[in-house]
Chains A and B, each alone.
Chain A
Amino acid sequence: MPVSVQSSALIYHALKDCGVRLVSALPETWLVHLIRMAEDDPAMTLVRLAKEEEGVGISTGAHFAGVKSAMLMQNHGFLAAINGIVSCAQLYRIPLLMLISQRGSFGEKDPWQTEGGGVTEHVLEALRIPFDCLDAPEQVSRKIAKAQTLAYSASRPVALLLSRDLMWEDA
């Protein structure tokens, strides 16, 4: 499976450096290494979800309890979580750090991923969620730290889109 272990490790260590102690996730191909890293790390609480929207509630509770968290999900999972993002994280001003794999972009071979790829950025814009794309390994650490900084200063959700160039080795 050509998912980049190196890029996954970069992302994981950037999250750790930002003090993230809880990660909620729903598995998808691009996230497998990240989820395994969280699972193998005794200092990290990994919450495996049935549906992504739960992760918004879990991160909200963790924030109230003083724990920094992040959500790992596919863009279709982000689409499935929207009411929670709007009616929990935005309504209650929760600094929610979302890492979203941007499936359905150029190079996508799976037909079922293609519709979500075309709408994700538009939906993020419509929701007024600040976002950036993680595509170059050398920028991963800084961009994750900066995204978390804005999430906390604005008390709002922010998103980082994980690109094919970063996550997939034969992209």
Chain B
Amino acid sequence: MKRIDALKAIYPELEHCIVVTIMGAVAAELQSLGHRTNFFYLQHAMGLASSVGLGIALSRPKLPVVVLDGDGSLLMNLGGLTTLARYEPRNLLHVVFDNESLLSVGGFPTATSTGSDLAAIARGAGVPRTATVTTLEEFTQEFQAAQQARELTTLVAKVEATGPAGYVTDLALLENRYQFARHLKSLAEE
């Protein structure tokens, strides 16, 4: 499965969610499908995308929040899984694209390439719903099932270690940040 195809498959669903992504390929590929003001790309601070998602999910429990994480980023904040599990926000869906590689810095293999199992780690941390998928069909099915379940889910999608040609887009970091905050504020006023 290619990550860009997985993103295409869930793109229509993301329109109705608050989306937080990691930096690098995930951010660039999602933007290539079309930026929306409900998407925030955390373009550094590796590991913290899931924590940002938790902060939003706890503050706005009625909004569906989707975090698009990666193996390299999640490995930098494994303790954060225990915090997610501890507060167990029902409106948080934590997707991890696992390409077993630090792709954007030259493709060096991460520990998932030698057997570390992120879904098992999430399960061990106490995340109530976890799954690992390897095909696009399974991914789409599990993503939809997780949204319907309304229960904290970590969904690990095994993807190929391929990405876009470049990572810098014409969306400035602060432009994205203020658009996103305004988007959330507009929902508050509804």
Contact = CB atoms under 8 A, between A and B. Distances in A.
B14 to A, nearest CB: 17
B87 interface: yes
Interface string B31-61: 0000000001011111111111111111110
A49 B48 CA distance: 13
Contacts, number: 113
B38 to A, nearest CB: 11
B184 A88 contact: no
A118 to B, nearest CB: 27
B89 to A, nearest CB: 11
Interface in A34-91: 45, 47-51, 53-67, 69, 83-84, 87-88, 91
Contacts of A91: 43-45, 173
B83 A49 contact: yes
Contacts of B50: 57
B45 A57 contact: yes
Contacts of A22: 55, 58-59
Interface stretch (B74-82, B94-102, B158-166): B74-82
Interface residues of B, number: 36
Given A53-B77, A64-B180, A64-B184, A47 B58 contact: yes
Nearest to A56: B48
Nearest to B53: A61
A54 B77 contact: yes
A53 B48 contact: yes
Contacts of A64: 40, 52, 55-56, 177, 180-181, 184
Contacts of A87: 44-46
B20 interface: yes
A46 B45 CA distance: 23
Given A64-B55, A65-B59, 14 more contacts: A45-B58, A54-B79, A56-B45, A57-B47, A58-B54, A58-B55, A58-B58, A60-B55, A62-B55, A66-B185, A66-B188, A83-B45, A88-B42, A92-B173
